[in-house]
Amino acid sequence: MDHEKLHRLLDEAGAHDPEYGQRLANHLPMAWLALARLGATEERLREFGAGYVADKALRPARLRQHWPAGEAWAHRLGRRAAWPLYLDLFEQWIAHEGAADVLEQVLPALMPGVGAAAFHGLIRTAAAVQAGHAGEVAQGLALWASWHLPLGAWPKVRGAARPQADPAVLLRKLQAGTSTTGLIAERMRAAAADGQVNAVAVCLAVDEGTPQRLARAAALAYAQTGNFTALHLVTGTHAMRVLARFVQSRAGRQDAWRWFWQAYAHGVVAARLRPAPTPLVLRPWSELVEVALGARDEHVVKLVDAAREEERCYGGADWQRAASRAVMGVR
């Protein structure tokens, strides 16, 4: 699709609030980008958008507020009511310094709360970067900052604990969460209350292979379970790969992935993963893309797009399996 036409749609998306219903994240701009990447026409994008706005009863965006001059930008992290302030701040900041420079400056402080809004601050920011739309980058960062979700400080590694490179080994040691109700972020916060997840997760040895290992584990978890939280681990890991390039130093990237892993581990605990009752039928990519292009479910659209991109990066059929799970039952 024409780049300029997509940007006009994303401009329109900014007229809607980033939340709808009971504190749910507005996925419209993310879904529009995913559909465009999958090959949707402008007519299809507008059709999807009209249906989404009506189905979710999207509200007009809250009135902008001016960021207080001289106030440290991280001062209001985690305050949902500060979204209009953060949007003003990031729009001005990006206008003066450019999206890339702003991302380099703010990502180190945002990463300890990367699970914000069930990873949607991260995902929306990454989608905006892929679209090359400065206004959407500001929207994503404002959502991330105002929903910032710290999950506790890292404990000291016990002397007997050995670093483990495979996240799947550590995930098997974690106890499933106690609740399947409530928002994903709320269940992640509840899982962090006693520090037990961090006590296990701190043992991950973060290296250059960590991004691929996390991506494959997420794809496998979703393919096997169809779990809604696991779906967000797939799209979240893809988004993290997109944004990691804005962290300049090797040590900084390791820290960023370590914080992402912390949220990921809490997401797995919150998910209470169980095998899906319906056997998985592997479908060809041409069919997966066709189904996603006609889908009304924004999560199906985003999952198929992210899975295709991850397969292009890493190879293998793990993401084809995940996408095949996503389209099951979609007409």
Band of pLDDT at residue 310, cut at 50, 70 and 90: very high
- DSSP H or E segment with residue 24: strand 24-25
pLDDT digits (tens, 9 = 90+) for 192-218: 999 999 999 999 999 999 999 999 999
Domain spans of the chain? 3-146, 167-271, 285-326
How far, in Å, CA of 108 to CA of 100, rounded? 14
The model's pTM is 0.97
pLDDT digits (tens, 9 = 90+) for 89-116: 999 999 999 999 999 999 999 999 999 9
pLDDT digits (tens, 9 = 90+) for 32-76: 999 999 999 999 999 999 999 999 999 999 998 999 999 999 999
Residue 299 to residues 25, 45, 220: CA-CA distances in angstroms?
Answer: 12, 15, 17
Band of pLDDT at residue 298, cut at 50, 70 and 90: very high
- What are the contacts of 182-187 at 24+ separation with CB within 8 A? 183/23, 183/24, 183/118, 184/118, 184/228, 184/229, 184/232, 184/267, 184/270, 185/115, 185/116, 185/117, 185/118, 185/147, 185/149, 187/229, 187/270
Average pLDDT, the chain: 95
How far, in Å, CA of 17 to CA of 83, rounded? 10
Band of pLDDT at residue 1, cut at 50, 70 and 90: low
pLDDT digits (tens, 9 = 90+) for 151-179: 999 998 766 567 899 999 999 999 887 67
